[in-house]
């Protein structure tokens, strides 16, 4: 990658600055546009990474809730079966397992 630089200052204290060519309106406009695109791309990447992280967290929380609901459902089925067994009655509808 080639980079144009301008070296000024004195021997003991040199000052190195990037040289973007002439300072005409066209080159600064191009530079501004390039800068805007770079910043926009960086922001988009950050937003996408944040969305993906939140999506993964929501999926993990959803899986946790589903497991908890299944566990409580199984407990209720067992409790109902015990009650029916104690009372000696039969359930008209078949319980899904």
Strand partners, 15: 8
Whether residue 59 is contained in a domain is answered as yes
Look at residue 24 in the predicted model and tell me its pLDDT.
53
Q: Sorting pLDDT into bands at 50, 70 and 90, what band is 86? A: confident
Tell me: the pLDDT tens digits for 70-83?
999 999 999 988 88
Domain that holds residue 47: 5-87
Statement: the pTM of the whole predicted model exceeds 0.85 = no
57 contacts: CB under 8 Å, gap ≥ 6: none
Tell me: the pLDDT tens digits for 41-69?
999 999 999 999 999 999 999 999 999 99
Number of domain units in the chain: 1
Alpha helices for 1-95 (secondary structure H): 25-87
Question: Distance between CA atoms of 62 and 54, rounded to whole angstroms?
Answer: 12
Whether residue 93 is contained in a domain is answered as no
User: What rounded mean pLDDT belongs to the chain?
Assistant: 83
Whether residue 95 is contained in a domain is answered as no
Look at residue 28 in the predicted model and tell me its pLDDT.
61
Whether residue 49 is contained in a domain is answered as yes
């Amino acid at each position: 990658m080639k980079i144009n630089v301008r070296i000024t200052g004195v021997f003991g204290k040199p000052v190195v600055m990037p040289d973007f060519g002439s300072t005409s309106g066209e080159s600064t406009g191009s530079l501004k546009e390039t800068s805007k695109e770079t910043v926009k791309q960086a922001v988009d990447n950050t937003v996408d990474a944040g969305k993906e992280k939140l999506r993964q967290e929501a999926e993990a929380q959803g899986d946790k809730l589903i497991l908890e609901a299944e566990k409580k459902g199984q407990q209720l089925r067992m409790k109902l079966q015990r009650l029916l067994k104690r009372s000696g009655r039969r359930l008209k509808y078949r319980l899904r397992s």
